[in-house]
Chain A
Amino acid sequence: MRLERRSQIPPSMLLAAPVAAMVVALALSGGLIALAGVNPLSAYGEMLRGAFGSRLSISETLTRATPLMLTGLAAAVAFRARLWNIGAEGQLYAGALAAAWIGHHYAPALPPALAIPLIMASAMVAGALLLLGPVILRLRLGVDEVVTTLLLNFIVLLFVSMMIEGPMKDPLAFGWPQSVPVERDVMLPKLMERTRLHIGLAIAVVAALLIALLQARTVFGMATRAAGLNARAAAFAGVPLATTLLAVACLSGAMAGLAGAIEVTGLKGYVTLDLSPGYGYSGIVVAMLAGLNPLGVVLTSLFVAIVFVGADGMSRALGVPSFIADVIVSISLLTMLVALLFTSYRVRR
């Protein structure tokens, strides 16, 4: 038995791959749910109810999808150019910290129409700067960016902890480690009354559309794809590899930083150490499930959000630990990798 590359990939398979991957992942996780003494089908039913059962749960699912969409874009943009940015978690926190800083110290002096874009921009710069370091190390010294971005996540989290217990500590928080709050006026407007859903969702969808346009219709998009498919051939054809990778890094880091700013100004209003339950890492799964397609990211971030919000509800109703959500999401990453393999290869005897 051996694998043989397909000469052309049928488009139907490209669509079928993520669906098959999700179904297989749900089937495998079903075994683990059964281990908890719960019928997997009724568990998945409860999950759907938890994610869609009411107006409130739908709004929660969409709220949860928002940061995932942005970290998913961060990973999709970078991975397309074979830039392995695993640091979206750290970049998200860097963006959140920048947003809280600007939102607290400078926003009161500005009208909200000016302050909100300033907050978003500063968070994007913070995220981008954080990724530029590892990328420059890779370009200059050949240091693997996977390990450096991973290690930076831990450093940033400790830095956040230092800031919110030190210079940015909220004196009115009764000793809880949380940052100073952003100005009330710069909190993002709600999309639905009496829910937590805010216009961050619209911002994320627009970002996905813009990136899709950028990748499909510009020279930069072409250069990104070329760099990812075959760096040597791209360099031979005159693609400026270093500048392309630096630009990709800025875009990717900016998306993750934006996710942080949107979480701060959309939901809590301040930074804590549990701002992100691993959105940076889940973003990688979102991007892979979407086959690194920015528009696909919009859909797959919804899938991951449904799993997370649904699992919370299911856990409350049936007592299955909500960690099952992380299991489903991580298995679907592995099944998606295998599914993608079979779209471009076929098995021959």
Chain B
Amino acid sequence: MTEAFEIFFTASLWGAVLRIATPLIFGTLGALICERAGVLNLGIEGIMTMGAMVAWMTVYQGGDLWTGLLVAALCGGLFGLLHAILTVPLALSQHVTGLGITLFASSLTYYVYRLSLPVSSTPPTIEPFQPLSIPGLSDLPFVGEALFSQTAPTYLAIAAILLVAYGMARTPLGLAVRMTGENPHAVEAQGLDPIRIRIGAVVCGSALMALGGAFLTTATFNSFFPTMVQGRGWVCIALVVFASWRPGKALLGALLFALFDAYQLRLQHVVEGGIPYQLFLMVPYVLSIAALIAMSRRAKVPQALMAPYRKGER
């Protein structure tokens, strides 16, 4: 029992929390931006899968790691544009279109991957992002290993979420995005175009989702394999609800979630006595459902989420 508790005092646990949280931070932030503008983007799972493959493939073909992330973000934006065109001006069902985007993006990803590389038993690898060593901070005992031995994209994710939190709350653009999610008619009355704002938000959000996937292949692992996203996209959608559509809380939610995940991974090695490992693996999904239930009454849903906007129609 004490062993299970002692895990919390290992620096490697806290280091792992930030590493596990990074794709969730990107994905949750992306989904949050889309939903704040009033568009549910269930394409997230497929867009993350695609981002993972594209970033990996760019690096494998001789590109820079950062070029890989950039290409992934661009492709993510492209799929976001497809989702946006179908759901915003054409006003198709956001649920079904999003699922369609997920099915399309992931099947296209597998197809292109299989087309580019011959079948082999061990997937080819790349040289992934290495932990940044920050002079002074990284050498601190415990804190150094827990917080300051991360790869560069992790810091980028935290910077991105802080930037979006500020932008949403304090800039005219943020206000316009939030207003589009609450009342697009009011946006129109202000002389802004809600359609354009929604499309822009979905494109940017999808680019961030793709970065989340890209982190998996360029930092967490060093190869791409199908089904590697493992429902992380759906977890992000649940985290947005958990965070009540607020970026700051989304960061907290992602970290909390990653803490549970990192903890259960370590607990598996400590606990003896035949508890099936599958029960531990269920934890993230069960937690997501629990988070949805816990927040169901309190969540402040954007008022126009999933309500299509047609000019001149009420």
Contacts and interface: CB of A to CB of B under 8 A. Distances in A.
Interface residues of B, number: 44
Given A3-B310, A147-B292, A148-B292, A154 B231 contact: yes
A210 interface: no
A285 B107 CA distance: 14
B195 to A, nearest CB: 11
Given A148-B289, A155-B286, A35 B103 contact: no
Interface stretch (B54-62, B85-93, B172-180, B204-212): B85-93
A326 interface: yes
Contacts of B288: 147, 151
Contacts of B114: 321, 323
B217 interface: no
B238 A147 contact: yes
Most chain A CB atoms below 10 A, which of B95, B111, B241, B282: B111
B297 A141 contact: yes
A295 interface: no
B257 to A, nearest CB: 13
A323 B115 CA distance: 10
Interface string A136-171: 010001111011101111110011011001100000
A327 interface: yes
A143 B298 CA distance: 11
Interface in A277-304: 281, 284-285, 288
B97 interface: yes
A337 B234 contact: no
A216 interface: no
Contacts of B107: 323, 326-327, 329-330
B282 A158 contact: yes
Given A32-B111, A150-B234, A333 B293 contact: no
A284 B100 CA distance: 9
Interface string A74-85: 000001000010
Given A147-B237, A151-B234, A159 B111 contact: no
Nearest to A84: B95
Most chain B CB atoms below 10 A, which of A86, A152, A323: A323
Contact of B289 (A32, A36, A151, A159): A151
Nearest to B87: A337
Interface string B87-113: 000111101110111011011101100
B103 A326 contact: yes
Contact of B93 (A86, A141, A337): A337
B292 A162 contact: no
B16 to A, nearest CB: 21
Contacts of B297: 141-142
A341 B97 CA distance: 12
Given A159-B278, A321-B114, A330-B100, A154 B293 contact: no
A330 B285 contact: no
A337 B293 contact: no
Contacts of B97: 334, 337
Nearest to B295: A143
A266 B14 CA distance: 50
Question: Does more than half of chain A's interface fall in helix, strand or loop, or is it mixed?
Answer: helix
Contacts of A152: 285, 289
B130 interface: no
A262 interface: no
Contact of B278 (A3, A35, A142, A161): A161
Contact of A154 (B99, B104, B110, B230): B230
B276 interface: yes
Contacts of B241: 144, 147
B296 A142 contact: yes
Interface residues of A, number: 45
B100 A334 contact: yes
Contact of A324 (B111, B230, B237, B311): B111
B103 A333 contact: yes
A6 to B, nearest CB: 15
Nearest to B306: A144
A231 B93 CA distance: 16
B42 A146 contact: yes
Nearest to B286: A155
A331 B292 contact: no
Given A35-B115, A84-B95, A147-B237, A334 B281 contact: no
Contacts of A151: 231, 234-235, 238, 285, 288-289
Given A141-B296, A337-B100, A150 B111 contact: no
A23 interface: no
B279 interface: yes
Contact of A329 (B96, B103, B279, B296): B103
Given A2-B311, A321-B115, A323-B107, A147 B234 contact: yes
Contacts of A192: none
Nearest to A137: B293
A27 interface: no
Given A323-B107, A324-B111, A334 B285 contact: no
Most chain B CB atoms below 10 A, which of A79, A86, A284, A327: A327
A137 B241 CA distance: 15
Given A32-B111, A148-B289, A155-B286, A334 B238 contact: no
21 contacts: A35-B115, A137-B292, A137-B296, A141-B296, A142-B297, A148-B289, A151-B235, A158-B281, A165-B278, A281-B103, A321-B114, A323-B114, A326-B103, A326-B106, A326-B111, A330-B108, A333-B96, A333-B100, A333-B103, A334-B104, A341-B92
Interface of A: 2-3, 32, 35-36, 79, 84, 86, 137, 141-144, 146-148, 150-155, 158-159, 161-162, 165-166, 281, 284-285, 288, 321, 323-324, 326-327, 329-331, 333-334, 337-338, 341
Task: Give the 10 A-B CB pairs with smallest separation, nearest first.
Answer: A326-B107, A330-B103, A321-B114, A141-B296, A162-B278, A330-B104, A323-B111, A158-B278, A333-B100, A323-B110
Given A79-B96, A148-B292, 5 more contacts: A146-B42, A150-B234, A326-B107, A327-B107, A327-B111
